[in-house]
Amino acid sequence: MSTLSDTLNTLCTAQALVDTPLGPVRVARTAAGIAGLWFEGQKHHPGELEAPMRPDDPLLRRAAQALQRYFAGEAAAFDLPLDLHGTPFQRSVWQALLRIPAGRTCSYGEIASAIGAPQAVRAVGAAVGRNPASLVVPCHRVLGRDGSLTGYAGGVQRKQALLALEGRG
Catalytic residue among 139, 142, 153, 162: 139
Helix (H, G, I), strand (E, B) or coil at 15: strand
* Contacts (Cβ under 8 Å, ≥6 apart) of 123: 89, 112, 117
pLDDT in tens, 129-160: 999 999 999 999 999 988 888 888 888 999 99
Residue 167 burial (CB < 10 Å; 0-12/13-18/19+)? exposed
CATH number at residue 130: 1.10.10.10
Tell me whether residue 76 is in a domain: no
Count of domains observed in the chain: 2
Of 71, 100, 120, which one is at a domain's C-terminal end? 71
Provide the domain limits for residue 105: 88-165
pLDDT tens-place string over residues 47-90: 678 888 999 999 999 999 999 999 999 887 799 999 999 999 99
Our answer to whether residue 106 is catalytic in this structure is no
